[in-house]
Amino acid sequence: MAVAEAAPELLSPAEIDRAFRDPFSPSKRTRATSWILLLAALTAFPLVFTNPAVTSIGVFTMFFLVAVVGWNIFSGYSGYISIGHAVYYGFGQYTVALLILHLGITSGVSELAIVPLAGLAGAAVAVPVGLLVLRVRRHTFIVLTIAVMFIFQLLAFNFPSITGGSSGMNVTPPSWSGNNFNLPFYYIALGTAAVGLLTSWAVRRSKFGLGLLAIRDDEDRAKGLGIKVTRAKLLALMLSAFFVGIAGGLYAIFVGQVFPQFAFTPFYDLYLAVFAFVGGLGTLSGPVFGALLLGPLQQYFEIQFGATTLYLIIYGVLFVVILLALPRGIVPSLADRYRSFLASRWRRAEERRGVGGSVTAGSMIASAPGAAPSERGGS
């Protein structure tokens, strides 16, 4: 291997593209297969475990999944961490409860049919909220989202003629009952989560999504490059609020009651952010992992220890331990481990072939597994 090359050979754009593609990330086919397997497993879950106590944990987990995936579309991609998404959650709950009350809806099917309106209401309220909170950045943004959430809680308390105030509202439960009560909620939420993930994926791949990532990295520079930052942030917030609103609407019908302190609750803000952080912020699969791992755990603790506030202690300690142990989230941490494992294996193989020694940029590109035609067929 020559130590210094006088004139490095020029690479064609396709070669450069190949060389810079991460050779250690799973292939497209592996990814697609895992998503389909996951979807199949989640679809089969309530059919295998038919105990209503178990499926209702599943239902709440699906609600979390919808909301966390939605949360990630805004906060994960744009880097604006919202600790106030309970605004859209509560708004979705009240929208559904008020519509059912005033339209006199009684059948369960038409109750579920108006749930998309909860999403639209969430997206609509995201416009004024967004225009206010998106004026500030970083810590002020975070704190302002919390404050706005408390404003909505107070408003729900302060308009008893509309919201019922502190005595809350009742939502007529759907007419079907028994062991199959949970199933429609489960599958609707699962379907919504799948739509949410597709949206998230589409956003990630689009120019709009690239704009959001640019905002996360350096907003002023993104603005300088011609990205309409306010419009992009607001649009992302509306998309995100849509899914959180739907989660709220489904929750209101499923639980049958809406209270200001449970609809606009700081706990929900905390759950969404922690679930997304634990999974991996701004990744496609991170929020899914976070919700599927921590959602059932949250439900289990609440059922098991909910009589006292012991579950708060357990949950708080668990959060602190997870946040300190996996500061980057499960998906990025595991991806790093996997990547360095593959890289070290590849390096060892190279050493055995005697290619090691001093490495120049040209040689690295030439010998990276992604660029070597003989190894490409295998991945």
Cα 179 from chain centroid? 30
Q: Which of 140, 167, 179, 180 binds another protein (CB under 8 A)?
A: 140
Query: Which 33-92 residues touch another protein, going by CB under 8 A?
Result: 79-81, 83
What does each C-alpha distance from 352 to 310, 348, 356, 374 come to in angstroms? Answer: 57, 6, 9, 17
> Would you give the binding string for another protein spanning residues 11-40, x where CB under 8 A is met?
------------------------------
**Residue 56 tokens, joined:** 């209702």
Residue 301 binds another protein (CB under 8 A) = no
CB of residue 375 to another protein, shortest distance in Å:
34
The residue behind tokens 């040689």 is 363
Residue 143 binds another protein (CB under 8 A) = yes
Residue 306 binds another protein (CB under 8 A) = no
Strands 257-258 and 169-170: antiparallel
169 φ/ψ angles, rounded to the nearest 5 degrees: -130, 150
Q: Which of 8, 191, 306, 327 binds another protein (CB under 8 A)?
A: 327
Q: How far apart are CA 327 and CA 317, in angstroms?
A: 15
Q: How far apart are CA 132 and CA 148, in angstroms?
A: 9
Residue 317 binds another protein (CB under 8 A) = yes
Burial class (CB in 10 A: 0-12, 13-18, 19+), 148: buried
Q: Which of 16, 32, 198, 323 binds another protein (CB under 8 A)?
A: 323
Q: Which of 158, 167, 170, 179 binds another protein (CB under 8 A)?
A: 158
Q: Which of 24, 25, 219, 333 binds another protein (CB under 8 A)?
A: 219
CB of residue 293 to another protein, shortest distance in Å:
16
Residue 103 binds another protein (CB under 8 A) = no
CB atoms within 10 A of CB 31: 13
CB of residue 249 to another protein, shortest distance in Å:
25
CB of residue 42 to another protein, shortest distance in Å:
27
Nearer residue to another protein within complex by CB, 1 or 317? 317
- How many binding residues for another protein (CB under 8 A)? 48
Nearer residue to another protein within complex by CB, 79 or 184? 79
Residue 328 binds another protein (CB under 8 A) = yes
Q: Which of 86, 142, 232, 284 binds another protein (CB under 8 A)?
A: 142
Stretch touching another protein by CB under 8 A, among 29-37, 196-204, 292-300, 308-316: 308-316
Nearer residue to another protein within complex by CB, 188 or 222? 222
**Residue 49 tokens, joined:** 């475990």
Q: How far apart are CA 184 and CA 195, in angstroms?
A: 16
Residue 225 binds another protein (CB under 8 A) = no
Query: Which 248-287 residues touch another protein, going by CB under 8 A?
Result: 266-267, 270, 273-274, 277
Nearer residue to another protein within complex by CB, 203 or 281? 281
* Contact residues for another protein, defined by CB under 8 A: 79-81, 83, 132, 135-140, 142-144, 146-147, 150-151, 154-155, 157-158, 215-216, 218-220, 266-267, 270, 273-274, 277, 308-313, 315-317, 319-320, 323-324, 327-328
